[in-house]
């Protein structure tokens, strides 16, 4: 059901020119939680050129008057917003399972879609969403993977993809800088539940790291996960993970994360035959071998000697307004055909990694990739059906969570 009055700006209605070209994109946002509010503010503050916020939706009606006062159309469901005719594009910032249902519904009526991470709660749903997007190739389907616009990760990808580090030997990401107090999990009844989120630290906090990992070095071929279910908190999903990765070329890796460790670490290291890239404490250090390690190993006449190296600290600027940059790219893709930085279909990789790490940990065995998405969906439905966890919810104080963006 619609709420609120008319919009004060001239782009409320269809705004194509005489040749049917859109001059702006009317955007609606469903989900007005923490991240949804960030997107609202970016659009209202003019950080996205040619992107005009016209309407919002949320299942909690007490949130809506604030947005009505800003001149926006408001709706009490994503479905109502989709059917309203007030928007050209939908941004989805709801709990995870709705990403799929709302995304498909929007695409089917001809709306462009941008989905917050993860694109879906599990791989099978992600495949359904991608299939719906592929059935409407005239529409733009984007994910919100802002680490792809961060200069430090762009540089690391350039080093790897350009061959400067040589053949991949090992990749290690220790990402334990996600500490969450019990109050965080008690702030909403859907948080840290199989039914509400479909997983824990991997699907919620670490999805951006998992996206960056597969974007930079590709997907592993085999995964062995070791997970702690409610190890640090009174929750039914994983909050502590140590995972071993194998790659098709014989390289190995590890991904370690937790929401129960403080002080935590954020250390990303990639070793190749030509050198190593190390990102830690916002410093990117690249060590280059004068001779590739495999070549040196074959040709050196001295058993203990290593090739000479050079060490370089690469200055990396910060990524200001990374979310707004991706939304601007989404708008430009709609209006001008600009290539997407984060195509929605590419979001399957991070969802699969989050799923397979948990599934492997629950089974106690390694799993080859690509994983069987239907098997994990069945297991997840079993976890939901058999859940006996009594979720506690409390009112928590408001706080600025944007500091957690730059990880």
Could you give the domains of the chain? 2-145+323-340 (3.40.50.720), 148-320+349-404 (3.30.360.10)
pLDDT in the model for residue 404: 55
Q: Could you tell me which residue, 266 or 8, shows the higher pLDDT?
A: 266
The average confidence (pLDDT) of the chain is 92
- pLDDT above 90 as % of the chain: 88
Residues of the chain with pLDDT > 70: what percent?
A: 92
Strands 89-92 and 275-280 turn out to be unpaired
Side-by-side strand order, sheet with 252-258: 309-314, 283-289, 275-280, 266-272, 168-175, 252-258, 238-246, 222-229, 367-368
In this prediction, residue 5 carries a pLDDT of: 35
Predicted TM-score (pTM) of the model is 0.92
Q: What's the pLDDT score for residue 161? A: 97
Mean pLDDT of 299-313: 95
Mean pLDDT along residues 280-287: 95
Cα 21–Cα 89–Cα 129 angle in degrees, nearest 5: 125
Specify the residue for token string 């969403």.
Answer: 129
Is the pLDDT at 6 greater than 60, yes or no?
no
Q: Is the pLDDT of residue 260 over 80?
A: yes
pLDDT value of position 18: 34
Q: Please give the average per-residue pLDDT across 166-190, as a whole number.
A: 95
* Residues in contact with 106: Cβ distance below 8 Å, sequence separation at least 6, in sequence order: 82, 90, 92, 113
CA 96 to CA 377: how far, in whole Å? 14
The tens digit of pLDDT for each residue in 202-216 reads 999 999 999 999 999
How does pLDDT run across 342-379, given as a tens digit for each residue?
999 999 999 999 999 999 999 999 999 999 999 999 99
Residue 13 banded pLDDT, cuts 50, 70, 90: very low
User: What is the mean predicted confidence (pLDDT) over 35-50?
Assistant: 97
* 303 CB-contact burial (10 Å; exposed 0-12 / middle 13-18 / buried 19+): exposed
């Amino acid at each position: 059901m619609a709420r609120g009055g008319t919009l004060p700006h001239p782009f409320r209605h269809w705004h194509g020119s005489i040749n049917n070209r859109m001059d702006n994109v009317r955007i609606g946002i469903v989900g007005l939680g923490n991240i949804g509010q960030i997107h609202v503010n970016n659009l209202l503050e003019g950080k996205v050129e040619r992107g005009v916020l016209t309407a919002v939706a949320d299942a909690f009606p007490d949130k809506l008057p604030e947005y009505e006062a800003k001149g926006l159309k408001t709706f009490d469901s994503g479905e109502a917003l989709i059917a309203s005719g007030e928007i050209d594009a939908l941004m989805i910032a709801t709990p995870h399972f709705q990403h799929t249902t709302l995304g498909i519904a929007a695409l089917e009526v001809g709306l462009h879609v941008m989905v917050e991470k993860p694109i879906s709660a599990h791989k099978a749903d992600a495949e359904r969403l991608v299939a719906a997007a592929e059935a409407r190739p005239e529409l733009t389907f984007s994910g919100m993977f802002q680490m792809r616009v961060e200069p430090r990760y762009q540089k690391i990808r350039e080093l790897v993809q350009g061959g400067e580090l040589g053949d991949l030997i090992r990749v290690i990401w220790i990402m334990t800088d996600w500490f969450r107090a019990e109050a965080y999990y008690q702030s909403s009844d859907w948080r840290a539940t199989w039914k509400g989120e479909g997983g824990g630290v991997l699907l919620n906090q670490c999805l951006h790291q998992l996206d960056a990992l597969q974007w930079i070095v590709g997907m592993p071929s085999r995964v062995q996960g070791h997970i702690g279910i409610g190890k640090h908190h009174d929750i039914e999903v994983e909050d502590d993970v140590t995972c071993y990765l194998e790659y098709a070329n014989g390289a190995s890796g590890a991904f370690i994360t937790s929401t129960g460790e403080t002080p935590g670490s954020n250390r990303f290291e990639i070793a190749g035959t030509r050198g190593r890239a190390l990102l830690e404490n916002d410093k990117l250090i690249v060590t280059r071998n004068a001779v590739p390690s495999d070549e040196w190993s074959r040709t050196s006449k001295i058993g203990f000697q290593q090739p000479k190296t050079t060490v370089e600290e690469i200055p990396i600027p910060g990524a200001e307004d990374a979310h707004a940059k991706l939304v601007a790219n989404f708008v430009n893709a709609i209006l001008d055909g600009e290539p997407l930085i984060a195509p929605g279909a590419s979001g399957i990789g991070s969802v699969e990694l989050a799923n397979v790490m948990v599934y492997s940990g629950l089974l106690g065995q390694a799993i080859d990739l690509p994983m069987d998405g239907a098997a994990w969906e069945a297991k997840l439905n079993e976890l939901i059906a058999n859940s006996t966890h009594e979720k506690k919810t409390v009112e928590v104080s408001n706080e600025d969570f944007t500091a957690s963006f730059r990880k």
